[in-house]
Amino acid sequence: MAQMVVTAGSLMRSVLLPFILSALLIWNLPTVNHAIGNLLAMTARIQSLEASGVRVAFGDAKKLDLSLAAAKVDPTKIDDRIKVVRKLTGVHVDRLFTLDSQQVHCVFTKPDLRMSLYLTLDYELENWKLVESSFDEAALAKLRDASAGQALNIGEPRSCYRLKLTDVGYDAKTALLGIMRMGLDGGGAPSGI
């Protein structure tokens, strides 16, 4: 009798518990999805970074000016570059620093949250003239051929594109790197980038 109770308890833990947890997750999926979206949105408000006693403020116009001047950016363009850099949030900076001009980005009919975020960021970066996009029809055709007959949970591919940094984007990255360097070097003016 005791063996039967132990076996029944073990069976309930191995079968019913995962089922109940899965059901709760599915039941609360909209709430979980909203919470993840809010967590990603919080990263957009990053204006400074502090780690190991080093503080880096990305919106400091004086430091941006110093960084761009040290990088020998045309003085007539520095004010415009500063305006653009000050618009950037944490997720914009992350996207700007992780862009690979060889990588193909595709738009699907049912994108997940991360894909939608990246598409929005790409649009904003292009709108601010930090990147340029170009459609890649060959990549789209290749993707459609590879996924033919398969139902993807993100839907069907609609378009594919590549991104590359513009001069403005390059200067923005240079300015941000200069600010990080100043923060790591103790806050002094950059000696040359």
Same-domain status, 20 and 84? no
* pLDDT grade for 21, boundaries at 50, 70 and 90: low
Same-domain status, 79 and 146? yes
- CB–CB of 163/43 below 8 Å? no
Res 125: pLDDT:
94
Residue 27 domain flag:
yes
Q: How far is CA 119 from the centre of its chain?
A: 10
Res 121: pLDDT:
93
Same-domain status, 65 and 135? yes
Same-domain status, 34 and 91? no
Does residue 157 carry a pLDDT above 70?
A: yes
Res 139: pLDDT:
92
pLDDT digits (tens, 9 = 90+) for 24-78: 667 776 776 666 666 555 554 444 544 444 444 555 667 777 777 777 777 887 7
Residue 192 domain flag:
no
Same-domain status, 113 and 174? yes
- CB–CB of 118/91 below 8 Å? no
Residue 50 domain flag:
yes
pLDDT digits (tens, 9 = 90+) for 87-141: 888 888 889 888 888 899 999 999 999 999 999 999 999 999 999 999 999 999 9
Q: Which of 124-128, 182-186, 187-191 has the highest mean pLDDT?
A: 124-128
Same-domain status, 65 and 120? yes
Range of the domain at 9: 2-38
Structural domains in the chain (count): 2
Same-domain status, 150 and 123? yes
Same-domain status, 86 and 143? yes
Higher pLDDT, 92 or 193: 92
Residue 124 domain flag:
yes
d(CA 17, CA 117): 34
Helix/strand/coil percentages in the chain, nearest 5 = 60, 15, 25
Same-domain status, 28 and 68? no
Res 54: pLDDT:
40
Res 52: pLDDT:
40
Residue 89 domain flag:
yes
Residue 189 domain flag:
no
Residue 190 domain flag:
no
Res 130: pLDDT:
93
Residue 136 domain flag:
yes
